[in-house]
């Protein structure tokens, strides 16, 4: 599966949660462990652009 259904509001909360170290900006609840945040961000950096991930990493 390469896609999931979501909306802009939910995606913004997901991004803000990752940027906030796993703490939801709406509820202020810790929803992700720090190591999970690190792993997700690493995967997003290395895999998120599909065929262009390598180029993206060096620009």
Please state the domain count of the chain. Answer: 1
Mean pLDDT for all residues in the chain:
88
Range of the domain at 36: 8-57
Model pTM?
0.76
Instruction: Please give the average per-residue pLDDT across 3-19, as a whole number.
Output: 92
Q: Is residue 1 part of a domain?
A: no
Phi and psi torsions of 23, nearest 5°: -100, 125
Tens-digit pLDDT profile for residues 30-48: 999 999 999 999 888 888 7
Q: Which alpha helices (H) appear in the chain, and where do they start and end?
A: 8-19, 34-47, 53-57
pLDDT score for 1: 55
Question: Residue written as tokens 């999970």?
Answer: 36
């Amino acid at each position: 599966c390469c896609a999931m259904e979501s909306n802009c509001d939910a995606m913004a909360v997901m991004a803000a949660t990752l940027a906030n170290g796993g703490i939801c900006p709406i509820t202020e609840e810790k929803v992700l462990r720090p190591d999970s945040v690190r792993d997700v961000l690493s995967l997003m950096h290395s895999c998120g652009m599909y065929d262009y991930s390598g180029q993206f990493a060096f620009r």
